[in-house]
Chain A
Amino acid sequence: MGEYAVEMLHITKRFPGIVANDDITLQLKKGEIHALLGENGAGKSTLMSVLFGLYQAEEGEIRKDGKKVEIKNPNDANALGIGMVHQHFKLVECFSVLDNIILGAEPVQGGFLKKDEARKKVMELSNRYHLQIDPDAKVENITVGMQQRTEILKMLYRDNEILIFDEPTAVLTVQEIEELMQIMKGLAKEGKSILFISHKLNEIMEVSDHCTVLRKGKYVGTVETKDTTPEKLSAMMVGRNVSFKVEKKPAEPGDVVLDVKDMTVAGQNKKDAVQDVSFQVRKGEIVCITGIDGNGQTELVYGLSGLEPLKSGSIHMNGKDITKASVRERSTSGMSHIPEDRHKHGLVLDYSLEDNLVLQRYFEPQFTSKAGLMKRKEIREYSDRLIEEYDIRSGQGSSTIVRSMSGGNQQKAIIAREIDKNPDLLIAVQPTRGVDIGAIESIHRQLIEQRDAGKAVLLVSLELDEVMDVPDRILVMYEGRLVGEFKPDEVTVEELGLYMTGAKKQEV
């Protein structure tokens, strides 16, 4: 028995046209938390999928406890005690939490489910690891945090010794992230070995023992976390130094661009998601709305952009009443919107990049003739320009199908499209979610450039670094209401947290 729980030696995995993993070696010690770091598309998820049996590597071998093993499918992985929390949760929405946990490893008698036995075991695990769940709740009705805990319980239920977490924190709130870090540390202390993927260096610094860095499918190196700094890590990952502190001049707010009064938006359930919210955004300032996911930010943006009607209240933009205006009218009168969910709203994934880049302006005379024919040549020129200016990387340029692009580049395309519209008001919702640090830097820079060009920017984010660094003003949202307003340099993260969880309140 060696010191490694799992070794992945010289793994090479190719996809048509790309080497996703090129001779990568990763050794996971028993009882350690090992972080995996790399830009979007560096090959992290692929490597983990190989370990979990979702893909087969073309070259290289996997060793478990020093012995060579074959992992052909998740069943094999399970048998070897390897479990994975996927980047995109793999939960059946209409099943209960309990059903999701036992799926694939059901206790049965003659084919019939023994739910009581399963429930007992799950609740035991839940108590032991402080993983709060409601076993009978349907997954579609629970928070992302609980979904995450369900995924973790899924692994523990199978007595897995090696746990893979693929970007588990991308969708969690600060509190939930903190909780998760504690859970991971606890698991490691129990002797479980953990592989942890994240784009957030502070998390890696906090929990991991080692960190392996990948770049463009290649192995860059493995370092001991306690011997390194975020700066060093990012340099390893991107190949250059990345500045974390956002450089910006003080704001010079001008006229009011967006004026929201007593806005109320209906929610999924009986309760209104947004209640009597009023605020203003001026030219030349970035206002950030923050709060824990599910406190009405999404609906607030839907209301602003016209995706959902208001129940009451009014919206004025540049003095004009746009309360009842359609999405299109808002867009043409100067509103841009970087949506929260780029796959749901932001992109037509099966359209080409150029078609996506004109998604908000295809109807303008420069792209469509009077007869209704699309001006293909002009569209191509426009798209080529944006690709060049915003450094959108893709396989076949303008004609690339967006689905095949990496998440970070998809996001860049949206940002390019929305900014190039030259809006008076830019609404940016979670603009950096799931994007690597190099891209985060450039997105932040662009938001500030917009501000400096005299635009109004409304940022909606729950990424605390972003909330503290980018905006000029912070508004905290809790249960559909605005409960606090701050200047970034006059408030601490802890203070914000109190407002976000409803522990403190002020009249706004």
Chain B
Amino acid sequence: MNTKNEKKRFLEIGGVQTVIASLICIILGLLVGYIVLLCINPAGAWDAMTSILKNFLYFPRPEVALEYFGSTLAKTAPLLMCTLSILFAYKVGLFNIGASGQYAVGAGLALYLALAYQMPWYVCMIAAMIGGGLLGGIAGILKAYLNVNEVIAGIMLNWISLYSVNMLLTNVKESSTTYTMALKTNSPDALIPSLGLDKLFSDNRYVTIAIPLAVIIAILVWVVMSKTKLGYELKATGLNKNAAKYAGMKEKRNMILTMAIAGCLAGLGAAFLYLSGIEQWSCAQTAVPAMGFNGIAAAFLGGLNPIGSIFSAFFIQHITSGGSYVDKMVYCAQISDLISAIIIYFCGFVLFFKYCMNRKAKK
């Protein structure tokens, strides 16, 4: 009886429910993915699945595995920022599908300042943040004053940003390729410092302070959302903007501020990636950066909790990276996209499972 009650109470804790719900979604996603693999080629399915799940552990030598663990972390940092961007807006009742565009603008400004003006990393980073924030702010203004749905505005701004950034960065691309110049050789000051962190990951130079910074920001977002006056106001605005206005909050300003902060987070995410030197921007890019979309999935998988996002962002990045280890002679390259898309699809059910558990616990 007693244990039953304890069990019940344990299940009632929101965090526990979220974790269980997320795990169910992951397992379902993997299961369906596995079935798809079986359908296409039963012989390689198990190997493919384990490669995806192992990711860096695919390397037998621990120091190499460690190095690639570092790389996965380095890519998790920007994804986490996009996740936070989406989550932050979502908590305030706004869907920031424009994270991709804000991310693109962040990348554009960071790289342009780095390569055209040889600015140091922190300047580039702040510029990326401001750039993303401005773009987010535009969506916020359109929403607050002109009632433009932020999802549609976000989608439009994504494409506009992509083309604009391509045009801007064409000025700092390598002369014989479509990529922006490498920071390591052309603007080393713009690289985010490692402060020795790289040593922990077999000298992986992409492991920078961006990683701990991202985690700190996640915690900060959590504190702001749940502990501060600002969070209280923003959430109130999101839940009922009329009530917010009635309570003397500046509901329009809050809406714009929310989108601007969300934009800052996404823009900063781009800085985390591009200023680590791990990637160069291709000026011939015709697709909106996927980071923003993956962020949506990670946000839901993390139960819309900033701390949960740290883990969900890592997981999404983990399987995305893991996808590249699938034997391409057995499965085509897109199979890993397929598996992660399936998992993302199942992330949509997190809230449902949570709701079910809630009901069960209450009964």
Is A in direct contact with B (CB under 8 Å) within the complex?
yes
A positions within 8 Å CB-CB of B: 16-17, 305, 307, 326-332, 337, 339, 344-351, 355, 359-360, 362-363, 368, 372-374, 376
Among B228, B240, B246, B249, chain A packs the most CB atoms within 10 A around the CB of B246
Residues of B within 8 A of A349 (CB): 239-240
Complex alpha-carbon distance, A348 and B243, angstroms: 6
Which one of B35-43, B229-237, B254-262, B275-283 contacts A? B229-237
Q: Closest B residue to A306 by CB, please name it.
A: B248
Write 24 A-B pairs (CB below 8 A) sorted by A numbering.
Answer: A16-B359, A17-B362, A327-B247, A327-B248, A330-B248, A331-B247, A332-B248, A339-B246, A344-B243, A345-B242, A345-B245, A345-B246, A348-B243, A348-B244, A349-B240, A350-B240, A351-B235, A351-B239, A355-B232, A359-B236, A362-B229, A374-B227, A374-B229, A376-B227
Complex alpha-carbon distance, A368 and B246, angstroms: 19
Q: Nearest-CB distance from B200 to chain A (Å)? A: 33
Interchain CB contact under 8 A, B239 and A344: no
Residues of A within 8 A of B4 (CB): none
Q: Closest B residue to A379 by CB, please name it.
A: B232
Complex alpha-carbon distance, A305 and B232, angstroms: 22
B61 within 8 A of A: no
Residues of B within 8 A of A347 (CB): 240, 243
Interchain CB contact under 8 A, A344 and B247: no
Interchain CB contact under 8 A, B243 and A346: yes
Interchain CB contact under 8 A, B243 and A326: no
The 7 closest A-B pairs by CB, nearest first: A328-B248, A345-B246, A327-B248, A368-B229, A359-B247, A372-B228, A348-B240
Q: Closest B residue to A331 by CB, please name it.
A: B248
Complex alpha-carbon distance, A24 and B249, angstroms: 46
Interchain CB contact under 8 A, B232 and A362: yes
Interchain CB contact under 8 A, B246 and A16: no
Q: Nearest-CB distance from A203 to chain B (Å)? A: 31
Residues of B within 8 A of A344 (CB): 240, 242-243
Residues of B within 8 A of A345 (CB): 242-243, 245-246
Q: Given B230, B247, B362, which contacts A360 in the complex, CB threshold below 8 Å?
A: B247
Complex alpha-carbon distance, A337 and B363, angstroms: 39
Complex alpha-carbon distance, A372 and B223, angstroms: 11
Interchain CB contact under 8 A, A327 and B245: yes
Residues of A within 8 A of B243 (CB): 344-348, 359
B positions within 8 Å CB-CB of A: 227-230, 232-233, 235-236, 239-240, 242-249, 359, 362-363
Complex alpha-carbon distance, A488 and B110, angstroms: 71
Instruction: Tell me if B's interface is mostly helix, strand, loop or mixed.
Output: helix
Interchain CB contact under 8 A, A307 and B230: no
Interchain CB contact under 8 A, B246 and A327: yes
Q: Given A307, A329, A348, which contacts B236 in the complex, CB threshold below 8 Å?
A: A348
Interchain CB contact under 8 A, B248 and A374: no
Give me 15 other A-B pairs in contact (C-beta within 8 A), A331-B248, A373-B227, A374-B229 excluded.
A16-B363, A328-B248, A329-B248, A331-B247, A332-B248, A344-B242, A345-B242, A345-B243, A345-B245, A346-B243, A348-B240, A351-B239, A359-B236, A372-B230, A373-B229
Complex alpha-carbon distance, A17 and B362, angstroms: 8
Q: Nearest-CB distance from A320 to chain B (Å)? A: 17
Q: Nearest-CB distance from A449 to chain B (Å)? A: 24
Q: Nearest-CB distance from B218 to chain A (Å)? A: 18
Residues of A within 8 A of B363 (CB): 16
Interchain CB contact under 8 A, B229 and A363: yes
Q: Nearest-CB distance from A367 to chain B (Å)? A: 8
Q: Nearest-CB distance from B345 to chain A (Å)? A: 27
Q: Nearest-CB distance from B359 to chain A (Å)? A: 7
Residues of B within 8 A of A16 (CB): 359, 362-363
Q: Nearest-CB distance from A129 to chain B (Å)? A: 37
Complex alpha-carbon distance, A214 and B247, angstroms: 37
Complex alpha-carbon distance, A346 and B236, angstroms: 12
Q: Closest A residue to B237 by CB, please name it.
A: A348
Residues of A within 8 A of B244 (CB): 348
Residues of A within 8 A of B359 (CB): 16
Interchain CB contact under 8 A, A307 and B246: yes
Q: Closest A residue to B230 by CB, please name it.
A: A372
Complex alpha-carbon distance, A417 and B141, angstroms: 32
Complex alpha-carbon distance, A307 and B235, angstroms: 20
Residues of A within 8 A of B245 (CB): 307, 327, 345
Complex alpha-carbon distance, A222 and B208, angstroms: 77
Q: Given A17, A331, A339, A374, which contacts B232 in the complex, CB threshold below 8 Å?
A: A374
Q: Nearest-CB distance from A492 to chain B (Å)? A: 36
Residues of B within 8 A of A327 (CB): 245-248
Residues of A within 8 A of B247 (CB): 327, 331, 359-360
Residues of B within 8 A of A348 (CB): 236, 239-240, 243-244
Q: Given A337, A362, A374, which contacts B246 in the complex, CB threshold below 8 Å?
A: A337
Q: Nearest-CB distance from B261 to chain A (Å)? A: 14
Residues of A within 8 A of B242 (CB): 344-345
Residues of B within 8 A of A350 (CB): 239-240
Residues of B within 8 A of A330 (CB): 248
Residues of B within 8 A of A17 (CB): 362
Complex alpha-carbon distance, A372 and B248, angstroms: 17
Residues of A within 8 A of B248 (CB): 326-332, 360
Residues of A within 8 A of B240 (CB): 344, 347-350
Q: Nearest-CB distance from B254 to chain A (Å)? A: 13
Q: Nearest-CB distance from A120 to chain B (Å)? A: 40
Complex alpha-carbon distance, A373 and B222, angstroms: 12
Residues of A within 8 A of B236 (CB): 348, 351, 355, 359
Complex alpha-carbon distance, A25 and B248, angstroms: 48
Among B236, B242, B244, B248, chain A packs the most CB atoms within 10 A around the CB of B248
Q: Closest B residue to A363 by CB, please name it.
A: B229
Q: Closest A residue to B362 by CB, please name it.
A: A16
Among B228, B247, B249, chain A packs the most CB atoms within 10 A around the CB of B247
Q: Closest A residue to B247 by CB, please name it.
A: A359
Complex alpha-carbon distance, A327 and B241, angstroms: 14
Complex alpha-carbon distance, A393 and B340, angstroms: 48
Complex alpha-carbon distance, A376 and B231, angstroms: 13
Residues of B within 8 A of A346 (CB): 243, 246
Residues of B within 8 A of A372 (CB): 228-230
Complex alpha-carbon distance, A326 and B253, angstroms: 14
Residues of B within 8 A of A351 (CB): 235-236, 239
Q: Closest B residue to A362 by CB, please name it.
A: B232
Q: Nearest-CB distance from A353 to chain B (Å)? A: 14
Interchain CB contact under 8 A, A373 and B228: yes
Complex alpha-carbon distance, A440 and B248, angstroms: 28
Complex alpha-carbon distance, A348 and B244, angstroms: 8
Complex alpha-carbon distance, A368 and B243, angstroms: 20
Q: Nearest-CB distance from B358 to chain A (Å)? A: 10
Q: Closest A residue to B363 by CB, please name it.
A: A16
Q: Nearest-CB distance from A323 to chain B (Å)? A: 16
Complex alpha-carbon distance, A305 and B247, angstroms: 10
